[in-house]
Amino acid sequence: MATGILKGKRGIISGALNEQSIAWKVAEEAHAEGATFVLTNAPVAMRMGEINGLAEATGASIIPADATKDEDLDALFTGAAEKLGGPVDFVLHSIGMSPNVRKGRSYDDLNYEWYKQTLDVSAMSLHRMLQAAHKRNALNEGASVVALSYIAAQRVFPDYGDMADAKALLESIARSWGYRLGKENKVRVNTVSQSPTITTAGAGIKGFDGFFGFAQEMSPLGNAPAIDCARFCIALFSDLTRFVTMQNLYHDGGFSSTGVTPEVMAKFVQEG
Ligand SMILES: NC(=O)c1ccc[n+]([C@@H]2O[C@H](COP(=O)([O-])OP(=O)(O)OC[C@H]3O[C@@H](n4cnc5c(N)ncnc54)[C@H](O)[C@@H]3O)[C@@H](O)[C@H]2O)c1
């Protein structure tokens, strides 16, 4: 299927933790499409070691960076330019974590220190990344930035907790930077709002099976798998989408536009 659509492009891919990670699939697809890139993740995630195998398979270098630390992000963009031989053409932000969700704190009983961490790790980190990149002129003209989001930014999914607020902030940050970077250097910034996907982050949400099953039956195409999300990201990194920016793009099999389906209705219809 690969056509070399990213041949000659350089990038940074965050968030590949294990084979299930959406970012892992993006890295494999980007490699197959001819890109060279740096992989990054939080230093604690490095301890699991799985990322080394991905780096070997894709010829990527690894630069650890905690996405909530400006000094780490400065080092990431400086190091990536050195390793790749110039500014980058694409950046994937695939980072999310809520201590409140992880520890089962409901929306009416949030720990506010954890709430700040949720917003910092899952949303402000996109701002920090782009500010670090901008200050270092680390993005090539026409570069493409993609961050992964979820429809809880627009609609209430009660068990998604404070991550919903983080995703709403993430999407707003993408628009705000998209305007500035587009004017300045034709850089595009978009969010991709993905179907529920079985990954470490996904499975951390209470009642994830229910989320997944409901979305499956509410989507004419069914839930979008991680590999297809990766391919959509590749399309956004490519030159075929040079005028797509400041958008939240649903990659969800049609879920976001569907009111009801016979499969879901059937669960409520009384026989006789
Ligand atoms: N899985 C789903 O159902 C789903 C649906 C829509 C959107 N998303 C989003 O996709 C993105 C990727 O998640 P995933 O499902 O592939 O799960 P994942 O757990 O594989 O990826 C999350 C990544 O965030 C990284 N991370 C956490 N804290 C960090 C920090 N301080 N600095 C740097 N990195 C840090 C983790 O190490 C991990 O690699 C997230 O933004 C998530 O919210 C996931």
3-state secondary structure 210-242: HHHHHHHHCCCCCCCCHHHHHHHHHHHHCHHHC
Gap from CA of 6 to ligand 1 centroid (Å): 24
| Three-point CA angle 152, 20, 56, nearest 5° | 135
- For atom 22 of ligand 1, the residue with the nearest CA is 95
pLDDT in tens, 14-72: 999 999 999 999 999 999 999 999 999 999 998 888 999 999 999 999 999 999 999 99
- For atom 20 of ligand 1, the residue with the nearest CA is 21
Please tell me if the CB atom of residue 36 comes closer than 6 angstroms to any atom of ligand 1: no
Gap from CA of 201 to ligand 1 centroid (Å): 5
CATH code, 10-265: 3.40.50.720
**Which pLDDT score is estimated for 15?**
97
Please tell me if the CB atom of residue 252 comes closer than 6 angstroms to any atom of ligand 1: no
Give every residue of the chain whose pLDDT is below 70, as ranges: 272
**Which pLDDT score is estimated for 272?**
65
Residues involved in catalysis? 150, 160
What is the side-by-side strand order in the sheet with 139-149? 61-62, 36-40, 10-14, 88-93, 139-149, 188-194, 248-251
Q: Give the Cα separation of 34 and 16 in Å (integer).
A: 19
Gap from CA of 55 to ligand 1 centroid (Å): 18
**Which pLDDT score is estimated for 47?**
84
